[in-house]
Amino acid sequence: MSAPLRIERLAAQGDGVAKGERGPVYVPFALPGELVNAAVAGDRGTLVAVLEPSADRVEPACRHFGECGGCVLQHLAPAAYRDWKREKLVQALHHRGLEAPVDNLVPCQPASRRRAALTARKTHGGLILGYNRAQSHQIIDIAECPILEPAIVAALPMLREVATGLCSTDKPFRVAVTLSEAGLDVALEGAGRPSEKKRRAAVEFALRAGLARLSLDGEILVAARDPGFSPGGTGLVPPPGGFLQAVAAIEEAMAAMVTGHLSPAKRLADLFSGVGTFALRLAQVAEVHAVESDGAALAALDRAFRFGAGLKKVTAERRDLFRRPLTAKELDRFGGLVFDPPRAGAEAQARQIASSNVPLVAAVSCNPATLARDLRILVGGGYVLKKVTPFDQFLWSPHVEAVALLEKPRRRR
């Protein structure tokens, strides 16, 4: 049944929240202050009509808004959107009893995301390629995406052809595309086991289409050019489908903040280093020890350093920091460190850092809740939280990136 609801606030995932007869009701695409008509089932509401729109409601930028689950906040005015994202970080810190200056959100521009993880599936009507509908496995076949680099959007028809040619399954599969400095890097995962004939045809098509690299389940089918990047002036070539920061300008801004904070130290550690987003830049000012569990990412980092120029020494260690964090004793040989873990955070590693004497720490996270938990551990170990800066790496989504800078006062002897 549908009912009028007054929206009071935005929830953590961007849904509007209203008081229902049995508790809160979450209404996607509704904004605070609005009176809406919604079809309610349990604690979920489906927006039927906006009866009294908010002054902060704006026209969405994408024709797929409301269906695609990727951008849930396109309808929120920019100033209110930035305030909401910053407040998520403020509240996460407050929940852990942390007080620190929180900067304004560093904004992300539309048409700037250089990588996309798309889902594809073969149907009787042809291959569909796009994003999942919110809270659903249904794939929304996209024709545009205002957050992506224009070169990726323009390549969507070509990506459909590549995926169609290699697809040998009726199940959904992943199509990851990254815009490198040498062109598009396309990696398919779970597309089945295509015949040799299909593989050869896909290679020929990729060469005609000008792809830099095409891979299938981690196997490189063809690499016309190295799909590289230049952190620290290096020629970094990530592994197929490897993780990269989504927006180049945000990566540069975060790296500049981390480097500026850690630059007084002569020896640094980069924990959860990935392919070297921070390590290769930090190596311009200090020796760096990079620690990462993903062997392919670590190999790419090491290769970029060895073929780089003008960098100080970079050493690499493959290690699962969740199961075997660097101990306080191991950490004490560094003058500073940065850690950038997955969304689960770095609780075990944070406890070792808290017990160490490392004077300078930069914590990077895409999850305010686990970041606040880890910062609480560090502050409990004697660190002073100097400031926290939110970055909008995932435009119009509920996700927010952050960099926190900490110092540990020297012990008096």
**Taking a C-beta distance cutoff of 8 angstroms, is the pair 305, 280 a contact?**
yes
**Taking a C-beta distance cutoff of 8 angstroms, is the pair 38, 25 a contact?**
yes
**DSSP assignments along 266-300, one per residue:** SEEEEET-TTTTTHHHHTTTSEEEEEES-HHHHHH
CA distances from 49 to 33, 71, 287, 317, 366 (A): 14, 20, 59, 56, 33
Closest CA to 253 of 104, 408, 134, 58: 104
Catalytic residues: 366
Binding residues for S-adenosyl-L-methionine: 245, 272, 292, 340
Q: How far apart are CA 84 and CA 12, in angstroms?
A: 10
Q: How far apart are CA 183 and CA 41, in angstroms?
A: 47
DSSP summary character for residue 262: H
Binding residues: 245, 272, 292, 340
CA distances from 199 to 115, 221, 256 (A): 24, 8, 42
Phi/psi at 287 (nearest 5 deg)?
-70, 145
